[in-house]
């Protein structure tokens, strides 16, 4: 599959300070790709290159095999949703008008815009009759962030960019909106590039994670490979907090929270682990397999666990 976004030998300097160094990476269509790392690692700079807010000093960024700098930027940005930490809804516009901004610019007729706004609000459990005519000042922080996500999705863009969108929210709201992103992604299949400095958030959301530090890409891999096969001490140390949470837990803990599927063994090539197996062992298996079966003390298959099950359990 051709990548929807590609960085080729990208470097960036701001006033003589090197921010990115020889960045090479690809984002696949339909995946949630997470850029994670400490402050100043180059995550947000990389993200802003995708919609042309920042230009590389060297190298090129491609969107659908065409260089970003060869697009008409205004039209390109209509194809790219953008969600920020400070969501910045237009304060003098209603929720409906905020959601309608890009579809109206694209020439959608009123009926189509109305249908889109209604269906999106219902997707996030906000009653259109209650919320369409509300002003941003009447919304809670979590509601504002939901509307911000809907505004980014409204025109059915090819890709959504999300720059630390939940970092200012309380833990409950943050977890709820992470779940929302996963649910909407499952339904809509958008490509999402998500920036965070939070390793737990990266593990929960990412199909693949790019770990950055001091402007360099240190490792780009699936969450399970980063957990079980870190390529450097920096990656290992950065994810230590998340590692500590699962080293001593077992698959029984996963079953106790219902993060599994009730199935009978049907594929003899799928690995089998006991309920007593640690999550460390589970990650080793998931590095090479999409799922595994779980058996009880009597060697009876009691369910199936996938990568998504494990990461949602941990988060």
- Residues 85, 149: one domain? yes
In this structure, are 136 and 217 located in the same domain?
yes
From CA 101, how far away is CA 93, in angstroms rounded? Answer: 10
Count of domains forming the chain: 2
Tokens, residue 39: 């402050």
**Per-residue model confidence (pLDDT) at position 245:** 54
53 and 141 together in one domain: yes
For 268, the enclosing helix (H) or strand (E) is none
101 and 88 in one domain?
yes
Structure tokens at 213: 């530090």
Q: Which of 268, 308, 311 is nearest to 291 (CA)?
A: 308
**Whole-prediction pTM:** 0.76
Could you tell me if 182 and 257 lie in one domain?
A: no
- Give yes or no: residues 206 and 71 share one domain: yes
Whether residues 288 and 157 fall in one domain = no
106 and 85 housed in the same domain: yes
Reduced to 3 states (helix: H, G, I; strand: E, B; else coil), residue 274 is strand
Predicted pLDDT of residue 246: 54
CB atoms near residue 68 (< 10 Å): 19
Q: Hey, which bits of 15-156 come out as E strands? A: 17-28, 32-36, 58-63, 66-67, 80-84
Residues 103 and 150 in one domain: yes
98: nearest Cα among 51, 137, 72: 137
160 and 147 in a common domain: yes
Closest CA to 234 of 219, 215, 247: 219
**Pair 59, 149 in one domain:** yes
Question: 166: domain CATH number?
Answer: 3.40.50.300
Q: Provide the pLDDT for residue 196.
A: 93
The H or E element spanning position 5 is: strand 3-14
Q: What is the DSSP letter of 153?
A: H
**End position of a domain, from candidates 246, 270, 299:** 246
What pLDDT score was predicted for residue 296?
Answer: 86
Beta-strand pair 66-67/3-14: unpaired
For residue 25, what are the β-bridge partners? 7
Tokens of 211: 């770990």
CA dist., res. 253 & res. 275, Å (int): 9
State which of 205, 221, 246 marks the end of a domain.
246
Return the axis-axis angle of helices 141-153 and 171-188, rounded to nearest 10°. Answer: 20
**Signed CA dihedral, 48, 51, 57, 62: sign only:** positive
What confidence score (pLDDT) does residue 66 get? 95
Which domain range does residue 292 map to? Answer: 251-314
Expressed in percent and rounded to 5, the helix, strand and coil fractions of the chain are 40, 25, 35
Nearest to 169 by CA among 193, 141, 143: 141
CATH number at residue 276: 3.10.580.10
At 59 the pLDDT is 97
Mean pLDDT by 10 residues, the chain (315 residues): 92 91 96 94 95 95 95 91 81 94 93 94 91 92 87 92 85 80 89 92 93 96 88 87 62 81 80 86 81 87 85 69
281, 186: one domain: no
Q: Which of 198, 216, 246 is the last residue of a domain?
A: 246
């Amino acid at each position: 599959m051709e990548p929807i976004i590609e960085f080729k030998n990208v470097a960036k300097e701001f006033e003589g300070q090197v921010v990115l160094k020889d960045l090479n990476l690809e984002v696949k269509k339909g995946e949630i790709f997470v850029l994670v790392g400490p402050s100043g690692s180059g995550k947000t700079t990389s993200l802003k290159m995708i919609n042309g807010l920042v230009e590389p000093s060297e190298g090129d960024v491609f969107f659908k095999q065409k260089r970003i700098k060869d697009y008409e930027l205004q039209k390109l940005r209509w194809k790219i949703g953008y969600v920020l930490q400070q969501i910045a809804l237009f304060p003098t516009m209603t929720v409906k008008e905020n959601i309608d901004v890009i579809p109206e610019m694209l020439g959608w007729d009123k009926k189509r815009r109305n249908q889109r706004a209604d269906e999106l609000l219902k997707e996030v459990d906000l009653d259109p009759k209650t919320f369409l005519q509300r002003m941003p000042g009447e919304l809670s922080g979590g509601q504002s962030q939901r509307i911000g996500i809907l505004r980014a999705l409204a025109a059915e863009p090819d890709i959504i960019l999300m720059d630390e969108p939940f970092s200012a929210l309380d833990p409950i709201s943050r977890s709820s909106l992470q779940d929302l992103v996963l649910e909407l992604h499952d339904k809509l299949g958008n490509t999402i590039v998500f920036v965070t400095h939070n390793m737990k958030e990266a593990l929960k959301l990412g199909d693949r994670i790019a770990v950055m530090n001091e402007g360099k890409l240190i490792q780009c891999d699936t969450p399970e490979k980063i957990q079980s096969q870190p390529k450097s001490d920096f990656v290992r140390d950065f994810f230590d907090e998340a590692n500590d949470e699962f080293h001593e837990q077992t698959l029984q803990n996963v079953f106790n929270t219902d993060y599994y599927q009730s199935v009978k063994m049907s594929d003899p090539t799928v690995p089998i682990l006991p309920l007593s197996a640690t999550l460390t062992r589970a990650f080793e298996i998931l590095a090479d397999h999409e799922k595994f079966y779980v058996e009880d003390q009597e060697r009876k298959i009691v369910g199936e666990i996938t990568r998504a099950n494990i990461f949602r359990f941990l988060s």
